[in-house]
Structure 1
Amino acid sequence: MNACTELWVDTDVSIGLEHFPGFYRDIDDALALLLLFSSPLVTLRGVSSTFGNTDAKHARVIAAKLTERFGPKGLQVRQGAAGPIKKGAPLPASDASWAMADALRQAPMTIVSLGAATNIAVLIASHPELVDNIQGIVAMAGSRSMPGEEFIVGPRQLRPFSALNFEADVEAWRIILESNVPLTFAPFSLSHQIWITKEDARSLENTGDTGSYLAPYMYKWAREWTDLYGSPGFNPFDALAAGYLLAPGFFGGVELPVGILEPGERGNNRDVPCLIVSDAMGNCRRATSLRSLNQGFKPFFLEALRGGLSMTTSVLGLSHINIVVDDMDKATEFYGRALGFQMAYNDAGAIDFPHYTSPAFARDAGFLDGKVDVDVRFLRHPQAGLCLELMCYHAPECCRDIVFHKTGDIGGPRHVALEVADICAVFEHLKKQPEVRMINPSPDYGPPENLGTSTISFFYWLDPYGVQWEMEQGRPLGFGREISG
């Protein structure tokens, strides 16, 4: 997912509503909304209400209160359809569908479906000319097995949960499946991989505004699940659809056929249709089904819900690596030859500023007299997307000695790691570069070996400017797993 993805959220949010005294309706939609509100990675174009956990009217009121308190200023919440699509009947009119259409006329966006999909289906059926502007639909729906999964969360649960987001309006999903909109499903089996406990809820008490607001509701819901079902806590259901949009690297998915299995069809002994995402569906329309959730998602999720400044969501990615050099052209040639870096360009041309003397730059860099003379050049790796910022200082006078550290020396970043496709070939390539020093000069160092039963292998080397690099092969890209060095 690219930064600043534009989203519309369609929700049956019901936080704070009671089933009956002391027992509350689902809070997962509220978790999803507040998770999205917390992130600079998305731009919310609108929110609309639908039915499921509650009716669309109550959902609109609750969503409006949450948006006013925690959401972006000016974000509108639209009233959705009151009931499902009936086969052969006119489509239910709603302000939500028209508002989504207006938003799509302005720019493409992704729709997050957290309740009955009525509003989305009406949009698709009423405005086919806008369908190509729907970049995707991400929904909490879709079973991965035939004839469908049993939604059981604990040993004391007598009846399985229903697939509410699908069953609330089956006809809506027939319309959606007939379109060409890319679909991503977060099924029940995915949410069953994460449990939010009473202790997790308490950890949000007295944190930021969001965490302090959510903590009592999360605690009550976790306690309700434990008391009623014997589960360790609750599954955050719809919040995983939002989580996927913010941190897709925590999720593993697969593209599979998707279709609706009617009652009595191919082993479906239930009295309702099932939405199945499985190879067993044959040559059907295809969709992405999220199947696995990395354990690192839970701390990310809880931290993002605290509110206030969260570095978990504030850090967007690696900007660049700065290296101070003694000769700009020599360094440019070396990093091009050794690692494949090329000159970086923007709309104005090469990002190259010889003899840069900005007083503001000098003060930001710590030279409070405002005096500096420095060459600045950015290089970019065309495959990895990694940027180097090379600087060659002419003034003020600074230390010119390069210190070559050993691997275990304390202080500073000890290495920068790059994933490579053929580590042995890269090892031999770098050994041939006259300026390169392997971390151990012994002829016995290398070639790289696999780490025990792991497929990961790596080696360290030093460039002529004192930067230690790690070249690595075998780690799944996306986020750190089996960290070795």
Structure 2
Amino acid sequence: MPEMAAGKTAVWIDTDPSVAPGVHEVDDGFALIQAFNSPELEIRGVSVVYGNAPFEAAWPIGQEIVAMFGPKGLKCYAGASRAEQLGEETDASRAMAAALKKERLTILALGPVTNVATLLKNHPELYGQITAIVAVAGRRPDQHFSAGNKNAPPFRDFNFELDAPGFQVLLDSKAPIVLAPWEVSSKVWMKRVDIDRLAAASEGARYLVKPASDWLGMWSDKFGTDGFNPFDTLAVGFVTSPDLIECENLPAEIRSLPDDTKPQKPANKPYLIVSKDVASKRTLRYCHTPKPGFKDDLMRRLLK
């Protein structure tokens, strides 16, 4: 078993990075820099999955961030390139399984859960080695992911919708699951003043500046907001700073309901629903409110 300092949490990060200049989602990049600068974490590995970017784009970005800013010796593993690979072993699923055989881990599932679901599908005996799977997904009934004042269509529950069958594998397992969903991340905003602070900080912080500036511009144009939500950072924050995020235990299930992002096309889509009214016996930890100190804690880690 690898040695670990007292008070630290051993984690595996499964991510779909797309942080690059141009209009690309940046939250995985923020979350990785946040994690790398968090002394509470012992990061045992990073794996890459499709999602915010096609796998062929996400894979080199993940390798680059790990090589440039990750702890010395940290390895990056290639995972699934599409949801249809659920159950197919990859370097990522094999490496996660090997790591779990050595010690208990918290898995930060920052993208579609295909890699993690493959692990549980092929190695169900390892569920007891998982302290928690922290996933960026889920919602309450009748909750819509909307931002700004331009009446743009609601966001998709992106990670979940890209592999709902994979999430069902997680629900069917006995592994503890924590959700860091839109509800909690929608209450944290990265604004121009925050990006300007990154520009004057460490190399890792500066790496985020151009992609974040472009992403901020898109949010301003499309949604009429003066900032963007750094979604995946709330998942990392749950592990590093649990006292700064309010959560509750709620039953969860997957339901098929009309697609709220396409009101003119009444086709159904899957929803990951949490509620006291859900009849399922499967209970998850649902995070919903960041406390006032969360943003300062996040910025402190990003600026290191």
Would the TM-score normalized by the shorter structure come out above 0.5? yes
Corresponding position: 1:5 with 2:9: yes
Shift of 1:232: 2.1
> Which amino acid is the alignment partner of residue 82 of structure 1?
S
Corresponding position: 1:126 with 2:108: no
Q: Take 1:215 and 1:101, find their aligned partners in 2: how far apart are those partners?
A: 35
Matched position secondary structure for 1:104 = helix
Identify the residue that residue 226 of structure 1 maps to in structure 2: 220
Deviation digits for residues 414-455 of structure 1 (CA, Å, limit 9, x no counterpart): xxxxxxxxxxxxxxxxxxxxxxxxxxxxxxxxxxxxxxxxxx
CA contact (8 A) 2:33 2:205 kept: no
Query: Given the superposition, is the C-alpha separation of residues 40 and 167 from structure 1 closer, same or farther in structure 2, using an over 3 Å criterion?
Result: same
> Which amino acid is the alignment partner of residue 276 of structure 2?
D
CA contact (8 A) 1:202 1:219 kept: no
Higher RCO (C-alpha under 8 Å, 6+ residues apart): 2
CA contact (8 A) 1:6 1:42 kept: yes
Corresponding position: 1:289 with 2:286: yes
Shift of 1:206: 1.8
Q: Take 2:56 and 2:90, find their aligned partners in 1: how far apart are those partners?
A: 11
Corresponding position: 1:174 with 2:168: yes
> Which amino acid is the alignment partner of residue 292 of structure 2?
Q
CA contact (8 A) 2:87 2:117 kept: no
- Give the RMSD, CA atoms, in angstroms: 1.7
Q: Take 1:214 and 1:122, find their aligned partners in 2: how far apart are those partners?
A: 31
Corresponding position: 1:16 with 2:20: yes
Query: Which has more radius of gyration?
Result: 1
For residue 191 of structure 1, the aligned residue among 185, 204, 219 is 185
Q: Take 2:157 and 2:197, find their aligned partners in 1: how far apart are those partners?
A: 30
Q: How many residues align?
A: 293
Shift of 1:270: 5.7
Percent same amino acid at aligned positions? 35
Q: Take 1:102 and 1:187, find their aligned partners in 2: how far apart are those partners?
A: 29
Identify the residue that residue 97 of structure 1 maps to in structure 2: 93
Identify the residue that residue 55 of structure 2 maps to in structure 1: 56
CA contact (8 A) 1:116 1:168 kept: yes
Shift of 1:157: 4.5
For residue 272 of structure 1, the aligned residue among 269, 274, 280 is 269
Identify the residue that residue 263 of structure 2 maps to in structure 1: none
> Which amino acid is the alignment partner of residue 295 of structure 1?
P
Matches within 5 A, 1:321-340: none
> Which amino acid is the alignment partner of residue 19 of structure 2?
I
Q: Take 1:112 and 1:162, find their aligned partners in 2: how far apart are those partners?
A: 20
Q: Take 2:56 and 2:203, find their aligned partners in 1: how far apart are those partners?
A: 26
> Which amino acid is the alignment partner of residue 226 of structure 1?
S
Matched position secondary structure for 1:51 = coil
CA contact (8 A) 2:191 2:216 kept: yes
> Which amino acid is the alignment partner of residue 155 of structure 2?
F
CA contact (8 A) 1:85 1:171 kept: no
Matched position secondary structure for 2:7 = coil
Q: Take 1:273 and 1:17, find their aligned partners in 2: how far apart are those partners?
A: 32
TM-score (norm 1): 0.58
Shift of 1:219: 2.4
CA contact (8 A) 2:253 2:280 kept: no
For residue 102 of structure 2, the aligned residue among 97, 103, 106 is 106
Query: Given the superposition, is the C-alpha separation of residues 257 and 270 from structure 1 closer, same or farther in structure 2, using an over 3 Å criterion?
Result: farther
Identify the residue that residue 38 of structure 1 maps to in structure 2: 37
> Which amino acid is the alignment partner of residue 31 of structure 2?
A
CA contact (8 A) 2:21 2:210 kept: no
Q: Take 1:176 and 1:273, find their aligned partners in 2: how far apart are those partners?
A: 15
Matched position secondary structure for 1:288 = strand
> Which amino acid is the alignment partner of residue 190 of structure 1?
V
Matches within 5 A, 1:78-89: 78-85=77-84
> Which amino acid is the alignment partner of residue 16 of structure 2?
D
Matches within 5 A, 1:335-374: none
CA contact (8 A) 2:27 2:233 kept: yes
Q: Take 2:124 and 2:186, find their aligned partners in 1: how far apart are those partners?
A: 36
Matched position secondary structure for 1:91 = coil
Deviation digits for residues 352-378 of structure 1 (CA, Å, limit 9, x no counterpart): xxxxxxxxxxxxxxxxxxxxxxxxxxx
Q: Take 1:48 and 1:69, find their aligned partners in 2: how far apart are those partners?
A: 16
Matched position secondary structure for 1:211 = helix
Shift of 1:55: 1.9
Q: Take 1:283 and 1:271, find their aligned partners in 2: how far apart are those partners?
A: 21
Q: Take 1:186 and 1:114, find their aligned partners in 2: how far apart are those partners?
A: 9
> Which amino acid is the alignment partner of residue 280 of structure 1?
D
Q: Take 2:59 and 2:239, find their aligned partners in 1: how far apart are those partners?
A: 23
CA contact (8 A) 2:134 2:177 kept: yes
Corresponding position: 1:251 with 2:245: yes
Deviation digits for residues 219-272 of structure 1 (CA, Å, limit 9, x no counterpart): 2222221122101200001111011111111101000001101236xxxx7621
Shift of 1:93: 2.9
Q: Take 1:182 and 1:111, find their aligned partners in 2: how far apart are those partners?
A: 10
Matches within 5 A, 1:310-329: none
Q: Take 1:76 and 1:4, find their aligned partners in 2: how far apart are those partners?
A: 19
TM-score (norm 2): 0.92
Deviation digits for residues 371-425 of structure 1 (CA, Å, limit 9, x no counterpart): xxxxxxxxxxxxxxxxxxxxxxxxxxxxxxxxxxxxxxxxxxxxxxxxxxxxxxx
Q: Take 1:3 and 1:218, find their aligned partners in 2: how far apart are those partners?
A: 32
